[in-house]
Structure formats: structure tokens, C-alpha cells
Amino acid sequence: MIQKPQIAWGILWAACSTLLGNAAQAIEVKVQPTKVRLGDTVSILVTPDSGETLTEAPTVKVADKTFPAFQVAPNRWRALVPTTPLEKHGRRSLTVTGNQQTRNMLLWVGSRRFPTQRIWLPPKKKITVKDPNYEFRQADKFKAVVTPQKYWNGTFVRPNAGRSSTGYGVRRYYNGVFAKDYYHRGLDYANSTGSPVKAAAAGKVSLIGRESEGFRVHGNVVGLDHGQGVGTIYLHLSRIDVQPGQTVASGQVIGAVGSTGASTGPHLHWGLYVNGQAVDPSPWLWRGFD
């Protein structure tokens, strides 16, 4: 069942369209936010046409990549799609299949300017670590966690009271060379060592790493799984107050600000991952994705 692509700029209600004239099979697709920009999390909400049911997970594809859809209420399914500063702005194909109907649409992702920083690094210090990739393998495992259960409710809370020092998406030149794969994958809060770090939302501890165990970049780190492909990570901690697998409440203290790992002064680096990609956490603080 093919139809001409529709522009999904703004809230998109896909009209029902079937070759068989069987309106019972129709689905509606709603895209939020109304204007997507690079770094945004895109919510793709799929519901059946009025009076109908949608009891099986629809398939949601953006640019031929499939994203998991979870039931958020009876007959309401949602996929969360990340966008990042490394992508090109512009249109992507959005294909949603449910109740044997396929809808072909276009998703528009607007451009956004990210500030740049110029960093001059001294010659590398010789650090001997038994397995330098251990921390990155652990971090990759954290980013790959997708739990069907949704642990969070409502908006996320600011994990530290400190001043915002570096924003999301900042690009860098290292020693004059543009780092094309680098963007600041979170928000930094400058604060004094020992200042409490709170869980941004309810979740489960899915990563604990310590500088003493080889986390020389992240430093002491906690990762939380909030369910449905959403996770948050807290870097450079001076202290860790939680255990692997522990359930935490929104706002619960999980550790303290520090300067462990690759850090030039006490601050919290807070990252938010959606299906493996670091998105801008800000919309999760002010509007949320419930």
C-alpha cells in the first residue's frame, strides 16, 4: 500500500487511505515536536483510526533505520527517534506500518547552529592502562540497553544545581583540526566537588565505572536506564552512591560532583541517550516525553 509522501513538518495526522476501502485498517501518525531541529528527540506516536484497535507494535522506520515502538497506553504506540549534530539537516523518509497498512511520509529536520571551541592539547601523557578500550565497551553496552518497561514519568529533573558551563552539541577543533566525529554529548554543570548529583528520572542503574578500574576518560561514572531506549549518564563523579541493578527514584542522590577522568575542573557532565545516540537533554527537562 503505497501513497505519495506527505510533508511531516508540524503535527502530522496521516489521513486514512486504503486501496480496499477498508477504513478498519487505518492508522494515524503524530510527530512531535512540531518543528524538529538537529539534536532533538522525535516522538512518533501511532494510534488506530477512531473506533479501531492497534494491539501489535507498529514498525517505525526513519531513513530505513527501524526504531522500537512501545505501547504507552491502550492503542497508543510510540517510537523515540534521536537526531544529532553529526547528521545533515533536511528531509528523511518516515515509514510506519501497523494494522497491515504502511504510511510513507517525510520527516523534516531543521538545521541548528552549534558553537565551536578551539582546544589546544599538550603532548600526550603516557598513561598505562591494562585495557584502554574497557571503559568504551562498557559505555557502548550502556547505550545499547533497550528495556520495554518505562520507568520514568513526566519531565526530567536537573541533576545538579550548578551553573550550565558547556551546552549540548558544541563542536571542537583540536590543535586547529576540526573533529568531525566530536560533539559535546550532553550538558555540563560547574559545581564544587561533593555537590549532590541526582537521578534525572526514575530508572535502574545500568552502568557503574570507576577511574581506578580503567575509566580514565569518563572517570567515576553512573548510567541509568529509564526504559524504552532512554538512558542518562553522569560523568567525572567524586563519589558513587548506588549499586549496579539498583532502582532509583527521580531526584534521588546517586553520587557527587568531582573531576575524575578527562576533566579540567569539578563539574558534572550529564548525557541523555535515546536508542544509542546522545540527544539534547533540554527538551526532556522543559516539556518531557511522557
Residue ranges binding Zn ion (CB under 5 A): 188, 269
CB of 175 to Zn ion, least distance (A): 19
Cβ distance to Zn ion smaller for residue 40 or 188:
188
CB of 271 to Zn ion, least distance (A): 8
Within 8 A by CB and 6+ apart from 195, the residues are 160, 161, 162, 256, 257, 266, 268
Cβ distance to Zn ion smaller for residue 44 or 221:
221
Within 8 A by CB and 6+ apart from 212, the residues are none
Cβ distance to Zn ion smaller for residue 35 or 118:
118
Cβ neighbourhood burial of 17 (10 Å; 0-12, 13-18, 19+): middle
Pairing of strands 6-7, 101-110: parallel
Nearest to 32 by CA among 65, 74, 64, 79: 79
Cβ distance to Zn ion smaller for residue 38 or 268:
268
Nearest to 14 by CA among 72, 55, 60, 68: 60
Q: Looking at beta carbons, which residue is closest to Zn ion?
A: 269
Cβ distance to Zn ion smaller for residue 281 or 283:
281
CB of 179 to Zn ion, least distance (A): 14
CB of 122 to Zn ion, least distance (A): 20
Cβ distance to Zn ion smaller for residue 169 or 196:
169
Is 212 strand, coil or helix?
helix
DSSP 233-267: EEEEESEE---TT-EE-TT-EEEE-B--SS-SSSE
CB of 166 to Zn ion, least distance (A): 5
CB of 188 to Zn ion, least distance (A): 4
Q: Which three cell numbers stand for residue 140?
A: 557502548
